[in-house]
Structure 1
């Protein structure tokens, strides 16, 4: 700043220990009253344009915020699917709650024990029947298949039944 003051481009004033620098008005050309009015009207026009553009920007910003906060089509379809699934679960829950034939844990345990007992008995009887047929087939001249047809025995495999695991 001091260098500009020495070159005469700015003026310097000292007040105590402070230096104040300001533009030298003499270096600017004199303007007529008409030029000043023209500049003022130009400033006014530009200010109006700035305000209009700022207003447009604010409207576009508001629209952008609204669009960013809204859901996409994919999100909406996913929400609809989830609502449908949720209503299905609610209906299922209501059916379960309204059912009067609830099974107590004791009844459930009793059924599982009975099932285990019956499967065990089934295996035991199947083994006994298989052992008896094996003994008979040792001295029987025909095939096992022919024997089963003559006697009229239907196996689990013929009926497409599989024995459950215990």
Structure 2
């Protein structure tokens, strides 16, 4: 009983104590000789260590036991770390699988998608049928149209430039603004009529 109480006290305090300090802690509960006997027994078992400071002995809990406990804790920490690493890896794999499954259609979804695509194909086939029997425009006809278009474009640009030059000459002696002149003559710009042209 004394031995256990002394060991518990040293474990709790975790620092060196003289026999007098230990006895003071227990008060009249245990005598000095009983405490000394308990300490001698604990030293013999390697549970506590004694150090001599001059004439005074100090006793503290043996570090051997603490070291063993620390080693055991280190082992547990390593085991838990490995277990955690494995679980993290499993979670990664499961998340990847979930991601892949999210992109995969279920059977009812796939059937619905197939039906939608069939309807789209029918719609486009019907649209193409409208052009069946229609005569395709030949390359020669395309060239003819482009030549005619370019010729008209050149004429348009020349006339627009000529009109601008004439307006500028009139404006030199005209008392009002260009806008007023155009309104008076009745000339409309491309912008006025909403004509947007780009090649």
Give the TM-score normalised by structure 1. Answer: 0.52
Partner of 1:164: 198
Q: Give the total of aligned pairs.
A: 95
Q: Is residue 118 of structure 1 aligned with residue 152 of structure 2?
A: yes
Distance 1:98 1:91 in 2: 14
Runs (4+) of structure 1 moved beyond 3 Å?
Answer: none
**Matched-pair contact (CA < 8 Å) for 1:137–1:144:** yes
For 1:81 and 1:134, locate their aligned partners in 2 and report how far apart those are by CA, in whole Å: 63
Q: What residue is the counterpart of 1:67 in the other structure?
A: none
Alignment-derived partner of residue 15 in structure 1: none
Higher relative contact order (CA 8 A, sep 6+): 2
1:75 is the counterpart of 2:107: no
Q: Shift in Å at residue 128 of structure 1?
A: 1.0
> How much does 1:73 deviate?
2.1
Please report how far the alpha carbon of residue 81 of structure 1 lies from its aligned counterpart in structure 2 after TM superposition. 1.6
CA distance in 2, matches of 1:123, 1:74: 58
2:108 & 2:172 partners in 1: Cα distance? 75
Q: Contact 1:148–1:154 (CA<8 Å) still a contact in 2? A: yes
Unaligned runs of 5+ in 2: 1-105
Q: 2:130 aligns to what SS in structure 1?
A: helix
Alignment partners' CA distance in 1, 2:140 and 2:172: 48
User: 3-state SS of the aligned residue for 2:154?
Assistant: helix
- Structure 1 segment 14-29 matched on structure 2, within 5 A: none
Whole-Å separation in 2 of the counterparts to 1:94 and 1:107: 23
Query: Residues 28-55 of structure 1: CA distance to partner in whole angstroms, max 9, x if unpaired?
Result: xxxxxxxxxxxxxxxxxxxxxxxxxxxx
Q: 2:141 aligns with which of 87, 92, 107?
A: 107
Distance 1:159 1:152, change over 3 A: same
Output the CA distance in 2 between the equivalents of 1:152 and 1:134: 16
What do residues 106-129 of structure 1 show as CA deviations (whole Å, max 9, x unaligned)? 111111121111112111111111
Structure-2 residue corresponding to 1:13: none
Does 2:168 match 1:131? no
In the TM superposition, residue 133 of structure 1 has moved relative to its aligned partner by 0.5
Q: 2:132 aligns with which of 80, 89, 97?
A: 97
